[in-house]
Structure 1
Amino acid sequence: MLLNQLFAIALLIAVSAFFSLAEISLAASRKIKLRQLADEGREPAARVLALQQNPGHFFTVVQIALNAIAILGGIVGEQALSPQVADLLRPLYDGVHLDTIGFLIAFGFVTSLFVLFADVMPKRIAMVRPEAVAMAVVQPIQLCMWLFAPLVWMFDGIADRLLRFFKLPSARPEDITAGDIVAMADAGAQAGVLLRQEQQLISNVFELDTRIVPSAMTARDSIVFLTLAESEESIRNKIAASPHGKFPVCKDAIDNVIGYVDWKDILPRILDGQPLSLRNAPIVRNVLVLPDSLSLFEALERFRDAKEDFALVVNEYALVVGLLTLQDVMSTVMGELVSPFQEDMIVRRDDNSWLIDGATPIEDVMAALDIAQFEGFDNYETIAGFLMYTLRKVPRRTDSVNYGGYTFEVVDIDNYRIDQVLVTRDGSGEG
């Protein structure tokens, strides 16, 4: 008799373990992985996907089974073990509380068996390989759903009405955000599935939608432009001193832009000995103009639509504030892979100090120093802007700001423009 009851307890534990495996594996299975397996012709993967689309009946079956088994296990365990435990304790204690003590010990023992073998271990197994486990149990689960269909229909109907009455959601949103993809890439890099460079590349792609054009453009003061009245000697000197691919062409000043010239049009004239006058020679092309409020992703779309890779950036007053190229945008995504010989704007001197160009985008500084957010970062685009915003004045050499465990000190100024910033780790920052 006792052996039969012990066998019944073991059987209940095994059935409960099966439903625990099914519950966790279905919830933890990744849809992307399941779709790949289904595309390879694995029918169980397609069944699991279908079950994930409408999991309500499945979870109802699981809860009915687990609760029924838990109650039944308690009844069988109490009947099987309580008298046996009481008999074992009788030589030591034969008082009025003997049956109660026997029941508590039997209850604790049976509960421990269920917790360990029907809950903890199955769920851990299911979390390790959820897709494989889900595909293994999906057909028996679908059979159980068919057998328990009347009970499922009843309980689901009651649950749906209660959810509607309390105005609670009954379905989980399946939208995947950019943050979800970046998080998955980061997890893949930590697991060794992705290289760290690949993970950084994915993060940078989504960063295009949050960074605006001024964070990647060449500032107004650094633009090399040509004028219509410029002499041929001056044009040659500018091209020799600044070997860019394209040069804006203006009437007289940078804000009076009429187009741009490409070195591919200038070089044949130099080789043929032809004059380089921009006023007479029809080599000036129309220039793409972008507002400074665009994100880099929007700028990339404008480049694609205009079939251009060069644009001037203007502010709300139609004043030129910078120059943006397709290479600037791609450098944001790929970094040094696009321009491996470009001078670094952030130079690490040692473990606790960095020399940073004042025009460095604030996002790049945040990444280099591992600072989650700068105070008021919506009001500026560069590390120089951060210092001016924080100091509330045009900084002078040796002016400094403590923030986030770092000291930011102005070490070089060029005509009111912050040229170089020395950053040192001090552990006494704020924010």
Structure 2
Amino acid sequence: MNLFQHLSLLALLVLAAGFLSLTEISLAGARKIKLKLLAEAGDERALKVMQLQAQSAEFFAASQIGLNTVAILGGILGEGALRPYFTAWLSFFYSGPGIDTIAFALSFLFVTILFILFSDLMPKRLAMIAPERIAVAMIGPVQIFIRLCRPFSWALNLVANLLFRLFGVETTREDRITFDEISAIVEAGAQAGVLQKQEQHFIENVFELESRGVSSAMTMRDNVVFFNLDETEDGIRKKIANYPLSKFPVCDGVIDRVIGYVDTRDILVRLLNKQSVFQLNESSIRTALIVPDALTLSELLDRFRATKETFAVVINEYALVVGVITLSDIMLTVMGNWGGALDEDKQVMQRDDGSWLVDGSTPASDMKRMLDLKALPEEENYETAAGFMMYMLRKVPKPTDSVEYEGMRFEVVDVDHYRIDQLLVKRVPSDPSQL
């Protein structure tokens, strides 16, 4: 064969190796979510790609057979075909005893660079740009190639599986998607401008409903406004005027004896119908949903959906009321402060000197996000910033008590009846002289 024929055959081998590299990376990198979307749009090739991913051992065996065979043939062909031409070219400059060795090295280097550039580097970079689109486009030729290599790939996989069993290696791919992976995707979308920052918070907060307890969003016991069963007309009027709430628990003397609750809309209807507004009886008191404080916000949302209620009284293991919570409280947990950042909610405020004032009732997850902390110690043991301090201090808090964590000092600023109202958080300088 002449030089043109040798180069043409070498080019075909390079293209064959490039095709195998392109398909190998695209099939490995194609994401199932995008493939499912393509399949739902009517592209049957996407289903074939997903089936091949589920049984990928046969394809990878065939791919390696093809790549190694082509690489060996390319090396043999390239070295044998190009060395005489490199020898003739070198003879114009050098005619010593090592001319054949130099020609061999140059032909080997030329063929190696050719395969690396056009059969490995460029195809793989192209495959990483759009793996799903390339995998779908190439699935037909890939299936034909797999059939051709099936006897050899079956034998290779048999040996490989025996070795995996011998060394106890698990070969089953785990496709479970975790919250951290979804959060990373959402964050990447926000950084790319696909999602707004507020939308990123919404999505993350929705997933946090599964881990956050009801106590992180409820109105605490000390702040619950309730009607006594024998509440006077004047007392009911003042509470409705002073506390713009839509629902008030009704209790028999003390908050732990909950009878039910009153919806102020019922009172408005009575007022419009010119009926007695302030009679607390069976007709005006609704049955309250009682839930344990061990529930997560996601579980409470299911309870609200099942009972068609939007108000619940939260009790602890001793049947004592620890707070009340509404559907609106859960929605506010998801939305945060609508239209603004979390620090505008006055729960976490950054001061001019770089320190933060944190309300004790701030959910621990919100405080962690605002302070840019990756994690808090033993987060399952508390729900709020105050709970974090109580857990870290291991004692009843008092003003000026402080703890240090991850280069930050958390100091108790205000305490009301053993309850932490506010924290001061500031970074600890690495240089002690700056303290």
| Same fold at TM > 0.5 | yes
**Which position in structure 2 is the counterpart of 1:348?**
350
Matches within 5 A, 1:285-324: 285-324=286-325
**Is 1:391 aligned to residue 393 of structure 2?**
yes
**Which position in structure 2 is the counterpart of 1:358?**
360
Indicate if the aligned counterparts of 1:227 and 1:251 stay in contact, CA closer than 8 A.
yes
**Is 1:118 aligned to residue 119 of structure 2?**
yes
Partners of 1:148 and 1:390 lie apart in 2 by 63
TM-score under structure 2 normalisation?
0.89
Deviations 1:82-110 (A, max 9, x none): 44444555654624x55444433332332
Matches within 5 A, 1:317-336: 317-336=318-337
**Which position in structure 2 is the counterpart of 1:219?**
220
Percent identity, please. Answer: 51
**Which position in structure 2 is the counterpart of 1:379?**
381
**Which position in structure 2 is the counterpart of 1:37?**
38
Q: Supply the AA of the counterpart residue of 1:405.
A: G
Deviations 1:15-42 (A, max 9, x none): 1001111111111122222232233333
Deviations 1:306-345 (A, max 9, x none): 2111111111111111111111111111112399999532
More moved, 178-187 vs 208-217: 178-187
Q: Once the 2 structures are TM-superposed, how far is the Cα of residue 174 of structure 1 from its aligned partner?
A: 2.5
Compared CA separation, residues 153 and 340, structure 1 to 2 (3 A): closer
Partners of 1:339 and 1:330 lie apart in 2 by 15
Partners of 2:215 and 2:312 lie apart in 1 by 12
**Which position in structure 1 is the counterpart of 2:237?**
236
TM-score under structure 1 normalisation?
0.90
**Which position in structure 2 is the counterpart of 1:133?**
134
Q: What SS does structure 2 have at the residue aligned with 1:412?
A: strand
**Which position in structure 2 is the counterpart of 1:205?**
206
Q: Once the 2 structures are TM-superposed, how far is the Cα of residue 289 of structure 1 from its aligned partner?
A: 1.1
Partners of 1:392 and 1:158 lie apart in 2 by 59
Compared CA separation, residues 233 and 80, structure 1 to 2 (3 A): same
* Equivalent residue for 2:276, pick from 274, 277, 296: 274
Compared CA separation, residues 281 and 15, structure 1 to 2 (3 A): closer
Partners of 1:211 and 1:350 lie apart in 2 by 31
**Which position in structure 2 is the counterpart of 1:153?**
154
Indicate if the aligned counterparts of 1:261 and 1:284 stay in contact, CA closer than 8 A.
yes
* Equivalent residue for 2:424, pick from 405, 422, 426: 422
Indicate if the aligned counterparts of 2:198 and 2:341 stay in contact, CA closer than 8 A.
no
More moved, 3-12 vs 23-32: 3-12
Partners of 1:414 and 1:25 lie apart in 2 by 61
Q: Supply the AA of the counterpart residue of 2:334.
A: V
**Which position in structure 2 is the counterpart of 1:367?**
369
Compared CA separation, residues 340 and 13, structure 1 to 2 (3 A): closer
**Which position in structure 2 is the counterpart of 1:62?**
63
Q: Supply the AA of the counterpart residue of 2:242.
A: A
Q: Once the 2 structures are TM-superposed, how far is the Cα of residue 127 of structure 1 from its aligned partner?
A: 0.6
Q: Supply the AA of the counterpart residue of 1:424.
A: K
Partners of 2:231 and 2:377 lie apart in 1 by 45
Indicate if the aligned counterparts of 2:10 and 2:78 stay in contact, CA closer than 8 A.
yes
More moved, 148-157 vs 287-296: 148-157
Q: Supply the AA of the counterpart residue of 1:112.
A: I
Q: What SS does structure 2 have at the residue aligned with 1:347?
A: strand
Q: Supply the AA of the counterpart residue of 2:391.
A: Y
Partners of 2:204 and 2:151 lie apart in 1 by 49
**Which position in structure 2 is the counterpart of 1:23?**
24
Indicate if the aligned counterparts of 2:205 and 2:334 stay in contact, CA closer than 8 A.
yes
**Which position in structure 2 is the counterpart of 1:53?**
54
Indicate if the aligned counterparts of 2:218 and 2:323 stay in contact, CA closer than 8 A.
yes
Q: Once the 2 structures are TM-superposed, how far is the Cα of residue 9 of structure 1 from its aligned partner?
A: 2.2
Give aligned pairs, total.
427
Uncovered stretches (5+) of structure 2, i.e. residues with no partner: none
Q: List, as ranges, runs of 4+ consecutive aligned residues in structure 1 with deviation greater than 6 Å.
A: 338-342
Q: Once the 2 structures are TM-superposed, how far is the Cα of residue 47 of structure 1 from its aligned partner?
A: 3.1
**Which position in structure 1 is the counterpart of 2:145?**
144
More moved, 103-112 vs 243-252: 103-112
Over aligned residue pairs, what C-alpha RMSD do you find?
A: 2.7
Indicate if the aligned counterparts of 2:267 and 2:277 stay in contact, CA closer than 8 A.
no
Indicate if the aligned counterparts of 2:198 and 2:339 stay in contact, CA closer than 8 A.
no
Partners of 1:343 and 1:146 lie apart in 2 by 63
Compared CA separation, residues 31 and 369, structure 1 to 2 (3 A): same
Deviations 1:203-254 (A, max 9, x none): 1111111111111111111111111132221222122111211111111111
Partners of 1:339 and 1:187 lie apart in 2 by 21
Q: Supply the AA of the counterpart residue of 1:220.
A: R
Q: Once the 2 structures are TM-superposed, how far is the Cα of residue 67 of structure 1 from its aligned partner?
A: 0.7
Deviations 1:334-376 (A, max 9, x none): 1123999995322233471322211111111001111112223
Q: What SS does structure 1 have at the residue aligned with 2:336?
A: helix
Partners of 2:409 and 2:208 lie apart in 1 by 27
